[in-house]
Amino acid sequence: MDISTTSEWGRVSALAESFADLDLRCLFAEDPGRAERLTFRVGDLVVDLSKQRVTGETVEALVALADRAGLSQRVEAMMRGDRINTTEDRAVLHTALRAGQGAVIEVDEGSAGRTNVVGQVHDLRGRMADFCARVRDGDWLGCTGAPIDNVVNIGIGGSDLGPSLAYEALAAYRHGRLRCRFVSNVDSHDLLGALSDLDPATTLFVVASKTFTTSETLTNAATARRWLTDALGDGAVARHFVAVSADAAAVTEFGIDEANMFEMWDWVGGRYSVDSAVGLSLMAAVGAENFEEMLRGMCIVDRHFASEPLHRNVAALAGLIAVWYRTFCGLPTRAVLPYSQALRRFTAYLQQLDMESNGKRVRFDGEAVSYETGPILWGEPGTNGQHSFHQLLHQGTTVVPCDFIVFADPDFSDAPAEHHRLLVANCLAQTEALAFGRSEAEVAAAGVDPGLVPHRTFPGNRPSTTIMAPRLTPSVLGQLIALYEHQTLTQGVVWGINSFDQWGVELGKSLATTIADELSTPTQPTLNHDPSTNALITRYRQLRSQRSVT
């Protein structure tokens, strides 16, 4: 179906024609109950949507659009285990990873029928917990008999961003001895930098790759294995390497015993996998109980998303507002600004989640969309951003909808109160300044030099969401992740695109394989790229050969 031909779409389009007239000052002045009415709660999260440029009518029209797109049915199909990722012919069941022990979730296995996956999910997590407990307790010994002090996770994309985000976010919950490092970039400085002060005898590598074909990860893993075996011999691999993957054969071929492999399933997408065995290094750092707590937090939001009517469903509403801005109001980007240093990797994590999911130009049926899809998502932790790009947020010519995330308590109980008070004050001040600005009249009345009045005027009317929670606990982190996962799906469903494939990454990968050979052949290869790429390859070869001559 082309959603853009429906009357529901037409209604939202018509409302968007007067987007410029939607003024937050007026909306608040006209409706004293607005802040309360547009603030929603899920789990520990309080989500204030009242500073978004929407009215009750906009929300109603967006909900009708979501109904027309079949959002509720799609969510049901996903959570039931249907193969909704049609271009890869897979189910999408990250929600099964956080379902309670007694739940029944039956993945559609095609001709093999349906299988309840909840048991295997919990069995695997039990294995992960046993393994992590041994590492944490110093019972998993390296080949010299020394306990493990450092875990190096080697993975990229979803096999890196989720666990590294959560490891940073849950610093207050980490084990006293164990440290994790996350290596993703094939640039050797990443790996060598991470290993530079480590002792092979006390280092454990977790090679995380769902496919076990990702060249960056396999290259880093091979170099790490050399680093280890050069120091401790080939026999060391068994005690110092474990794998997380869906491909047991590839893991064995790499030289890791299948007994040291933690399984992934094809129904968990990489960017939705922090709650799978990909979280092994995270679990080692924070312990199984905190990991389970994160999953319970996700489950709270899953239940809300699956059961709450759309007009009260926070994840759906936030996703629909994102569609409103991107598609109907023409705002190309969205900023996520956590006022929490512990969430410094959150935006990077969300970039994969949102942009790999919804950076799509064709619908399920292969037809090109006639409207804008996935926004460009970006951001930095506050207050740092205030001293760089917030200038543009306040006075630039582009309106950027922002998400602010803030916590009542700091992560560590001994944190100086003054820091946290200032952090929160800055967050709230930014949302106020963006929304209400300072008019020319107000600036002039403050006695500002008339020549400077236009420069010192803040137009305001810049929309934002504020998410507040008591503290960044494992559960709250899980709630936040699930909140954004479900917003991502909501947007994809309205746009009629498949949020679960990522074919757009393939062309670059296959070209890189060809070019890697062309860069290293001893004689000048015949190059069949475009003139620019051919010249760059040739230039690289010349520079390298000059360097080897000198």
| Residues 96 and 105 sit within 8 Å (Cβ to Cβ) | yes
**Which of 142, 158, 374, 381: binder of ligand F6P (CB under 6 A)?**
158
Other Cβ atoms less than 10 A from the Cβ of 290: the count is 21
Specify the amino acid at residue 161.
L
DSSP for residue 505: G
**Residue 209 binds ligand F6P, judged by CB under 6 A:** yes
Active-site residue set:
356, 387, 509
Query: Residue 189 CB, nearest distance to ligand F6P (Å)?
Result: 20
Is the preceding peptide bond at 383 cis, omega within 30 degrees of 0? yes
Q: What residues form DSSP beta bridges with 335?
A: 378, 402
Secondary element (H or E) of residue 402: strand 402-407
Task: Provide the 3-class DSSP secondary structure of residue 403.
Answer: strand
- Residue list 177-206, contact with ligand F6P (CB under 6 A): none
Minimum distance between the CB of residue 356 and ligand F6P, rounded to whole angstroms?
Answer: 6
* CA dihedral of 316, 321, 324, 330, whole degrees rounded to 10: -130
Calculated CA dihedral for residues 292, 293, 294, 298, nearest 10 degrees: 100
244: tokens are: 């997380």
Considering the rule CB under 6 A, would residue 157 count as an interface residue with ligand F6P?
yes
Q: How far is the CB of 61 from ligand F6P (least distance, A)?
A: 34
Q: How far is the CB of 505 from ligand F6P (least distance, A)?
A: 4
Strand ranges for 303-342 from DSSP E:
333-338
By the rule CB under 6 A, 457 interacts with ligand F6P:
no
Q: Which is nearer to ligand F6P, 52 or 352 (CB)?
A: 352
Q: How far apart are CA 360 and CA 370, in angstroms?
A: 12
Q: Show the binding pattern over residues 95-134: x = contacts ligand F6P (CB under 6 A), - = does not.
A: ----------------------------------------
Nearer to ligand F6P, 131 or 500 (CB): 500
Residue closer to ligand F6P by CB (options 158, 359) is 158
The single residue among 43, 163, 270, 297 that binds ligand F6P, judged by CB under 6 A, is 270
Total of residues contacting ligand F6P (CB under 6 A) = 14
**Beta partners for 244?**
208, 262
Asked if residue 347 binds ligand F6P (CB under 6 A), the reply is no
Please give the radius of gyration of the chain, using alpha carbons only, rounded to the nearest integer.
Answer: 25
Q: Which of 429, 446, 505, 512 binds ligand F6P (CB under 6 A)?
A: 505
* Residue from 34, 271, 304, 486 in contact with ligand F6P (CB under 6 A): 271
Least distance to ligand F6P, CB of residue 214, Å: 3
Residue 345 binds ligand F6P (CB under 6 A):
no
Nearer to ligand F6P, 156 or 283 (CB): 156
- DSSP H/E element including 283: helix 280-286
Task: Look up residue 361 and give its two tokens.
Answer: 């130009």
Residue the block writes with tokens 């082309």:
2
Nearest in space to 502 (alpha carbons), one of 354, 353, 357:
357
Q: Which residue is nearest to ligand F6P (CB)?
A: 270
Residue 156 interacts with ligand F6P (CB under 6 A)? yes
Element (H, E) at 67: helix 56-69
Gap between the Cα atoms of 540 and 535, Å rounded? 9
Q: Pick between residue 186 and residue 453 the one whose CB is nearest to ligand F6P.
A: 186
Output the smallest distance, CB 266 to ligand F6P, in A: 11
The least CB distance from residue 85 to ligand F6P, in Å, is 12
- What angle, 0 to 180 degrees and rounded to 10, lies between the N-to-C axes of helices 288-307 and 118-137? 150
Pair 200, 228: CB distance under 8 Å = yes
Does residue 478 belong to the site contacting ligand F6P (CB under 6 A)? no
Structure tokens at 342: 């512990």
Considering the complex, what minimum distance in angstroms separates the CB of residue 67 from ligand F6P?
A: 30
| Stretch 215-244: interaction string toward ligand F6P, x if CB under 6 A | --x---------------------------
Selected from 210, 239, 334, 462, the binder of ligand F6P by CB under 6 A is 210
105-113, 209-217, 289-297, 453-461 -> range binding ligand F6P (CB under 6 A): 209-217
Q: Are the C-beta atoms of residues 337 and 470 closer than 8 Å to each other?
A: no
CA–CA distance from 252 to each of 241, 261, 485 (Å)? 11, 9, 33
Stretch that binds ligand F6P, among 155-163, 165-173, 281-289, 390-398 (CB under 6 A): 155-163
Nearest residue to 151 via CA among 208, 233, 189? 208
When asked if residue 357 is in the footprint of ligand F6P (CB under 6 A), the reply is: no
Does position 480 interact with ligand F6P (CB under 6 A)? The reply is no
Write out the residues near ligand F6P by the rule CB under 6 A: 156-159, 209-211, 214, 217, 270-271, 356, 502, 505
